[in-house]
Chains A and B, each alone.
Chain A
Amino acid sequence: MKPKRWGMIVDQRRCIGCHSCTVACKSENNVPLGYWRSWVKGLQKGDFPKVGNMFLRRLCNQCDSPPCVQVCPVQATVRRPEDGVVVMYYGKCIGCGMCIAACPYDARFFNPIRKTADKCDFCASRIENGLEPACVEACVSKALIFGDVDDPKSEIFNILAAVPTSVIKPELGTKPKVFYIQADHSLKGRIQFSEDFKEAIIDYRKSIPSPDATYWETRDQK
């Protein structure tokens, strides 16, 4: 049988920011209080009266070339060849924290009860039994679409072929399998600075060119 490659589409046009996916994830995976496997990032853009509220669903991107698997010293986290999901083996994990430091999406954390690293695994126990992940099932506006990205008959394949999608931080070559429809550039895991540094940063920007560095341009500059 051909190996599957599970993936997810997050349709930003449909997301209403209700956090159902966050709640469903926490209750399905028994995530301790104060920790999240997946969450919704909220962001506000623009000036009154033209203001936009935006949401970005964050979860493990299930990379095809995962930096966390690369650095694990004990192979406690692997990309399963049969379905492309990056899973944790909690019994092996020594809790060194290298994978947490290496994840470009900050999707990993120390589970304080299990005392190991933890992460979203597309609800591995559910998809093994033919169910969809808990967040997909809980989504009220069908903003989350889950399926085999290699199967031409699946819904996700059709959408990926017909609709422009983007991934977070493609420049790192991690080949994520979580695709976003109409995700704003300012939403996608970019850096936010505290006010203290803005002056200095803008001063440097004037003298030294830096590609892709536009996110700290303030309204004073316009």
Chain B
Amino acid sequence: MEASVLYNVPHDIPWKVFIPLYFYFTGLSAGSFILSTLSTVFGIKRFKPMALPAAIISFLLLLLAPACLIVDLQQPTRFWHTLVPEYFNPTSALSYGSWLLTLYPIANLVYIYFIYVKNDRVTKIIGTITVPLAIFVHAYTGFAFALVRARAWWHSALMPGFFLTSALLSGIALLVIVAMIMDRLRSEKLELDLYKSLRIMMIGILLTDLFWTGSFWLTLLVSNSDGHASILLALHENFYLWGEIFAGMLVPLAILVYPGTGNNKIWLSFASVLIICGVFLMRYSVVFIGFDIPLS
């Protein structure tokens, strides 16, 4: 039987574009930090020239990220409430997140200092401590969504993993661009092997992201009414289907996989730019498609 709502009170979406921007910046930061530790902690010498620029980028993005969060608050001057131990809520992902967001930039700064003074032993120790922080600082954002049971689009155990892999993806893509710029500016050229390994990593993570996306689609299509509806609404969103999935994942994947374009630096940077934009759209669609279904 057809029923139509004559009148109802929907409430406004509480967030603005700063929230996906925040996820995007922490993701980029965590991704480039992990890339920076590949040489310093995990000992892959090929990535050595990337260690310092990646760490510095990661730190700069970390200054932007909490700024976005604070700008989005209705009471920006009260942001310090999240750091009062008495107010700590052990069931809230945001509570852990605000502490992580405070500790991680500090650890990051110390790490940058020791790379700068070329003290490899201490760098390794600090880096080892900071890697889990970097992972958690981004995974918590996934948990912030996964723990909301009201919204089927968010309430998924895949969310933290998806956030982490796309963080790594955007971090690598950003570093490809930075490597290109470094190549232009510096006299000593970077090895071609570096680009090759970055490219292979991007292909691997893109495939993982597509796997996550497919898992989301399948589980939501046979989920309860809200979940079913949210995936159908999502597939009608142009920025999701054409932006995130097609332009942000499939096109760069095709460019990277095909050897003729994947080994070409211009195509490689084009794919990286597409990936960077696609990952932002992924954050955007996670946040705002979640609000597509009215709950009242």
Contact = CB atoms under 8 A, between A and B. Distances in A.
Interface residues of B, number: 58
A116 B74 CA distance: 6
Given A47-B2, A97-B74, A73 B11 contact: no
B229 A201 contact: yes
A29 to B, nearest CB: 15
A43 B1 contact: no
A92 B94 CA distance: 15
A41 B150 contact: no
A104 B149 contact: yes
* Chain B, interface SS category: loop
Nearest to A35: B11
A72 B87 CA distance: 10
Interface in A28-58: 35-36, 39, 41-47, 53, 58
Given A104-B295, A197-B233, A98 B144 contact: yes
A95 B1 contact: no
Contacts of B254: none
B221 interface: yes
B14 A110 contact: yes
Interface string B1-26: 11111111111101100000000000
Interface in A190-222: 190-193, 196-197, 200-201, 204, 208-213, 215, 218-219
Contact of A103 (B98, B294, B295): B295
A107 B3 CA distance: 22
A96 interface: yes
A189 B228 CA distance: 16
B2 A219 contact: yes
Interface string B143-170: 0100111110000000000000000000
B239 interface: no
Given A74-B82, A103-B150, A44 B295 contact: no
B3 A186 contact: yes
Nearest to B77: A94
Q: Which 9 residue pairs are nearest across A and B when measured between Cβ atoms?
A: A95-B74, A97-B14, A104-B150, A106-B296, A73-B94, A42-B6, A100-B14, A109-B11, A106-B295
Given A44-B6, A67-B148, 6 more contacts: A47-B2, A95-B73, A97-B15, A101-B291, A104-B295, A219-B1
Interface of B: 1-12, 14-15, 69, 72-75, 78-79, 81-82, 84, 87-89, 91-95, 97-98, 144, 147-151, 221-226, 228-229, 232-233, 235-236, 290-291, 293-296
